């Protein structure tokens, strides 16, 4: 059964999927996931996920944006072509601030979004979950959990009976 991607279980309510996820986490599975039409509060804890890394991208983007703004204004107005207007200083962080502030926000937003896409490995238009005929329910009103056959603990028979022990509504195989 090497051509099987994993085993998929369907649940009716957020509470059911949450308890199921806690049990899968405690059983020590590594390669598994939960598919829900909306984010369920507390599911990150139930799956044992760590805090997202997106903010690290944000801080890098924001710092880059601020430095870009300040140095761009210094370069253009005080270095490359000195513009003296009304006897005001050629460069001052005060008048450079509004533009640098906007660039901080702009770069942070781009960095965070790029970060989210990188961490989620998106866009990925091919995935086993998208191939099942239940895909319309996945983004509508049902809750799914799957364990991949690549998981080190995976065993065709044992894992299937383990999943059935979680009291899902329905269990099915996922093709690769």
Partner 1 sequence: MAGASSHSQEVRPAILDEVNPVDIPRQACVDNNRSFNWITEKICGIIEEKTPTWWWVCFIIACATASFTFIGLGYLVVTGVGVWGLANPVNWGWAIVNFVFWIGIGHAGTLISAILCLLRQKWRTSINRAAEAMTIFAVVCAGLFPVFHVGRVWFALYPGYLFPFPNANGIWPNFRSALLWDVFAVSTYGTVSVLFWYIGLIPDFATVRDRAKTKFRKIAYGIVAMGWRGSNRHWSNYEMLYLILAGLSTPLVLSVHTIVSFDFAISLVPGWHTTIFPPYFVAGAIFSGFGMVITLMLPLRAIYGLQDLITQYHIDCMTKIILATGTMVGYAYGMEFFIAAYGANDFEIFAFVNRAFGNYAWAYWIMISCNVISPQFFWFKSIRENTTLVWVISLFVNVGMWFERFVITVTSLSRDFLPSSWGYYSPTVVDIFTYLGTFGLFSVLFLLFLRFVPLMAMAEIKAVTPQADPHHAHTHKAGSGDYVNN
Contact, 90 vs 77, CB < 8 A?
A: yes
Contact 129, 35 (CB under 8 A): yes
Size of the residue set binding partner 1 (CB under 8 A) = 75
Name the segment binding partner 1 (CB under 8 A); options: 2-10, 112-120, 152-160, 161-169. 112-120
Nearest CA to 6 among 142, 152, 132, 150?
Answer: 150
Element (H, E) at 67: helix 54-73
Confirm or reject binding of residue 136 to partner 1 (CB under 8 A).
yes
Query: Number of C-alpha atoms within 13 angstroms, CB side, residue 62?
Result: 9
Position 166 contacts partner 1 (CB under 8 A): no
Rule CB under 8 A: choose which of 27, 30, 88, 175 binds partner 1: 88
Token digits of residue 112: 């965070």
Given the complex with partner 1, which of 84 and 156 has the nearer CB atom? 84
Partners of 168 in beta bridges: none
CB of 157 to partner 1, least distance (A): 26
If binding is defined by CB under 8 A, does position 93 make contact with partner 1?
no
The interface with partner 1 within residues 53-82 (CB under 8 A) comprises 53-55, 58, 72-73, 76-77, 80-81
């Amino acid at each position: 059964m090497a051509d099987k991607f994993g085993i998929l279980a369907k649940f009716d309510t957020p509470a059911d999927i949450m308890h199921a996820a806690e049990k899968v986490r405690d059983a020590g599975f590594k390669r598994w996931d939960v598919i829900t039409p909306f984010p369920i509060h507390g599911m990150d804890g139930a799956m044992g996920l760590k805090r997202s890394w997106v903010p690290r991208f944000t801080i890098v983007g924001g710092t880059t944006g601020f430095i870009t703004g300040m140095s761009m204004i210094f370069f253009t107005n005080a270095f490359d072509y000195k513009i003296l207007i009304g006897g005001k200083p050629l460069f001052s962080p005060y008048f450079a601030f509004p533009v640098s502030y906007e660039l901080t926000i702009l770069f942070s937003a781009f960095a965070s979004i790029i970060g989210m896409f990188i961490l989620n490995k998106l866009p990925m238009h091919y995935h086993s979950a998208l191939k099942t005929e239940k895909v319309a329910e996945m983004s509508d009103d049902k809750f799914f959990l799957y364990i991949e056959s690549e998981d080190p603990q995976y065993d065709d028979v044992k894992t299937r009976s383990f999943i059935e022990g979680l009291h899902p509504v329905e269990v099915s195989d996922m093709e690769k």
